[in-house]
Chain A
């Protein structure tokens, strides 16, 4: 009991030190103490006030013109190309909610040519685009037949560059294709369990440092079909504000109570945990059966990394379970590419459910869930995805096995480690240069996802089109995937990008930043020294 009070008081002191805003040295982590073994630098700089005002003005103009066009369409002066009911149906309950489609009809359609661009090569560091024009203001598109070659790809989630078509790399995959064919035609529980699946799961468990792993055919389905198998009614889910749709869908399907905590905010999470334990379930005041915390390794819209050490400390204190979704972080962070658990130097046994996808860093499809053997065996029989969905195709399994063996060094080369280190170097260089140029970048310094803030709706379309003219393919995101004021361009750095490609992109960004006035940052650090008019730089006596 004395030890318990000591640990309680130590914890109280640690929590006080973490919370006290003047203790920034504790929060940002120093080498010899605290929960963090390395500095944790995240920044979400706010733009100057005039930017917010102009963004509102832009949206106001768009909305006014949207209403005007809707008016013209209702009075029949202009033909409506969007879905509408027939005349006879108009007396009944309306089929289409007009306002839901307002944004799509009036704002998204005007700049629609920047999304869904068809590509006709592998999404490597450079790819080919089919040239597409629209004759009627983006209502329909047609292909001119030309192909835009060697567009620099700074938007694909190809973090380690494994989305390649090089013959030697794909030889093993080709062999497996010859041996097994492509389709499985069965679910995992019936006839779809191949020896390759067992091999992959053992390899994956070894790679992650856990007891067992289970592989699914689709990353989205891994989340949405397995969370209902783990929690149900009477359980509590604490989910981050900015979680991916697959996690939210899985949480809603499970029927558990969902409470949301502020993005990456450990104080908010702790408050919710304490409230949950003290007050219990809403009406009956019984204890919750399970409390599951849903977080992601790297949040793809913000580029922020989860505060894993603090969340694990909270989970241990309040006896909750942790579900970590490493879709973007597996392979992309960590010294040997093993994800955020390795990045923070933690033990994988601390995390109850490790989930990830193979679509991002491994260049394949599918998802996995890893953890203790009991958990994985339970999911083999109780998960909807394992019972009803097709298992992963053998050629894809071979691609995943190949990449994991490459990362672990089991194929006899150091290529895996080289790729991870190249990605780290590219990320640091790209983020440093963007900071120096004066753009507002969100997220952690070590995350390969780099959102560059554009704010105004007019700049979204102009930015994407101009970058394509310079033969660089970017992904721009606006409302509803991001908050309405913070539209952004999201860059995904890859290990396959060479320094020249990154420099081309950075020079193009520099030029566009001046032309379109995108350099909002007030904290830019310039690496160029000020030039003096002196002919020599010797010290004066």
Chain B
């Protein structure tokens, strides 16, 4: 019963995606092309996020901790 619920919900989400992006009106081969492009773009966005966001967060944290940290340590790290 629960699995049916989940499957229905996932189908409902897919239907919403079809309606919102107007791919409901496209022919089947156009739909496949559109789905491929969408999935590719979303996959690339997620991969970029996975690769770059941790590094950027670490750099940002370092930058802010330098501003609020002690001064001599600051001078040393800049002169290096």
Contact = CB atoms under 8 A, between A and B. Distances in A.
Interface of A: 54, 57-59, 61-62, 65, 107, 110-111, 137, 456-459, 461-462, 515-517
Given A65-B30, A65-B34, A515-B12, A57 B20 contact: yes
B25 interface: yes
18 contacts: A57-B20, A58-B20, A58-B21, A58-B22, A61-B23, A65-B30, A65-B34, A107-B25, A110-B25, A137-B27, A456-B22, A458-B18, A458-B19, A458-B22, A458-B23, A461-B24, A516-B19, A517-B16
Contacts of A457: 22, 25
Nearest to A64: B34
Given A61-B34, A65-B30, A65-B34, A456 B25 contact: no
A111 B20 contact: no
Contact of B19 (A59, A62, A137, A456): A456
A517 B20 CA distance: 10
Interface string B12-48: 1001101111111111001000100000000000000
From A61, A457, A459, A462, name the one whose CB has the most chain B CB atoms within 10 angstroms.
A61
Contact of A462 (B12, B19, B27, B30): B19
A58 B23 CA distance: 8
A62 B25 contact: yes
A65 B26 contact: yes
Interface of B: 12, 15-16, 18-27, 30, 34
A397 B20 CA distance: 49
Contact of A111 (B15, B25, B27, B34): B25
A57 B21 contact: yes
Contacts of B20: 54, 57-58, 456, 458
A480 to B, nearest CB: 17
A61 B27 CA distance: 13
Given A57-B20, A458-B18, 18 more contacts: A54-B20, A57-B21, A58-B21, A58-B22, A61-B23, A61-B34, A107-B25, A110-B26, A457-B22, A457-B25, A458-B19, A458-B21, A458-B24, A458-B25, A461-B25, A515-B12, A516-B16, A517-B19
Contacts of A137: 27
Contacts of A462: 19, 24
Contacts of B21: 57-58, 61, 458
Nearest to A54: B20
B15 A515 contact: yes
A322 B12 CA distance: 52
Contacts of A57: 20-22
A54 B26 CA distance: 17
B24 to A, nearest CB: 4
From B21, B22, B26, B30, name the one whose CB has the most chain A CB atoms within 10 angstroms.
B22
A476 to B, nearest CB: 13
Contact of B22 (A62, A515, A516, A517): A62
A107 B27 CA distance: 12
A111 B19 CA distance: 13
B50 to A, nearest CB: 25
Nearest to B19: A458
A70 to B, nearest CB: 13
Contacts of B19: 456, 458-459, 462, 516-517
A294 B62 CA distance: 69
**5 pairs of A and B residues whose beta carbons are closest in the complex:** A58-B22, A458-B22, A458-B19, A110-B25, A458-B24
A318 B26 CA distance: 54
A486 to B, nearest CB: 16
B14 to A, nearest CB: 12
Contacts of B30: 65
A110 B24 CA distance: 10
Contacts of A59: 22
A459 B22 CA distance: 8
A513 to B, nearest CB: 13
A111 B27 CA distance: 11
